[in-house]
Structure 1
């Protein structure tokens, strides 16, 4: 008859038993074996020490019957056919430390390790007795780590004591959708479908129907990720304040951010809350890697880049004057900023007949009448940087002479007449070519011909008038 023992253990005393054995194989050749026992787990460490003239050697461990191959952890090659682990062949004379671990039920077991140096097979130990005491069945693991939605999760529950094999089940509660408990191995694994906190109890039963259980809480978080789907952060402007906050979601807040590689512009700081702030001193393109750690020490990282540019400004200093009835053209210019720009007359208006191309900054047209306009021009780049500039634009009438003939004068009588004209922009400069009557002169600033003619004459002269219109 088998008895059902129910235990609930929160504290366990672990007892180690250490057995060592040394063998001298030949001149300069030896081997050592140390066995450690921790409840149902046996760990064997073998040291093979060849002599300086050893050409090759190998090591074999022969397992006793009753050891379950699935419980063996080793760094050699396991053969299920003859129940051995083999190491080698090692084609040198280097000392090697070999090990393996297996689980067994309480009882007495005989181990036999053999080593062969240059084909001479010897036992390190033959039928070495290993005694494994009985310990109550127990689920050793106290807590299990959290998981994330849509991320693969796997945790192996550790059990000690009792008799192999073990069988696992849920005593109460339920696992999250997408996660299951392996009844043979005790592994909790899967990809959770929804977030939340789940409380459940796992039971384990051994071959002798001994029973133990432990309650666990499993927290499922949303996927730990950067909120920003972008790689290129917003551009900044040299000598202007910059601020951008890199954010994360999911996982377990609070988060800690840090820059783990790359550079940001001089004048900016990368803070542990994820914000980049300051006043950049230099222009350029910068690339860096940001890392964020949540409260469960999960780590994610992502590369970002951003650009610092000069502020935009209008470089056209003044607008040339225009003449009514004649074509007008002026290309506005700017510097700094980024990308395409949009021009506008922010305040005031252009003279009637002129237009501003908002894409190119080209002013063209033909003014219908003379006018004097005070306007504010603006230009804006694709990031919203905007520059303004006060301008004046004067359209003047076409400069023309009113009469082609000057009034007649009298010999030896004082004469004073102004050249009559219309349009243009004062001040004017008057010049002529040809010959004035003797005794008369032209004032270049006023356009007045004056003096006392000395004799009767008839004169043809070419008058040139230059106004102050700005080209």
Structure 2
């Protein structure tokens, strides 16, 4: 709006949607440079829709008419009308209840403000059982919030995590190495930038590590012979590869050895024996399993030479005495013929 300097007429169109009383001062000057002033005010009546608000979120203050008490209707609970200057009042605060609020002042100015309900955050994975873990093995599981305004923060608000695990408050990651078998229940609550929240209840089972299985099962392995190459493999299962192998008690027959990466027992036996020993396998997570074995090593068979060689002996005649000598060489004396 403008003031005509020659006629004193105030004309124009309002360009601001701020209802209320707009004060101003007019000064008049005559040809002799004499002056006088007068203060006026214009009532600006309007229906104004204010920016929307959200329950639990601080509202950016907005100017309204120069009154602190509506004559009808009400402002949202949790919000206030504050007089900043003599003619300046602002609406601010943190609304506590959703709804549409219409309030009017004595000058006829009417305001409408919509208060939206708070955002409801959703957590993923959904409430329920999280993937289990094993004592002594590093664990990792991330809970992620959505449906609100980033950044989000995370906290355990009831119950407790398994011993040894921690929740990262900025990422929602549950990690570290559990130390004790347990079945834990707990609630994680996420909070967004506007203080909207969402929660989910979880359970997390931590188990003791299971023993590995070895094949062949405990007992007697295939026997061997002095001077003859031997080969037998012990294989672990039920854990996480790779596996390592070791003889943890007793000893292998002389001349044999165990490959620590494959479980293969091999070599050439050098002495007769009946050996007992235990093989223990260890997986990538330090889980173990053992089995006790025996291996019998026999002496090599003797080599004999017969004279005459095997075959037909001289002919025998009925009624005549027969005589034929047989001899053998080899082996350890004395030799016995049967």
TM interval, shorter chain, is 0.3 to 0.5
Using the size of structure 1 for normalisation, the TM-score is: 0.32
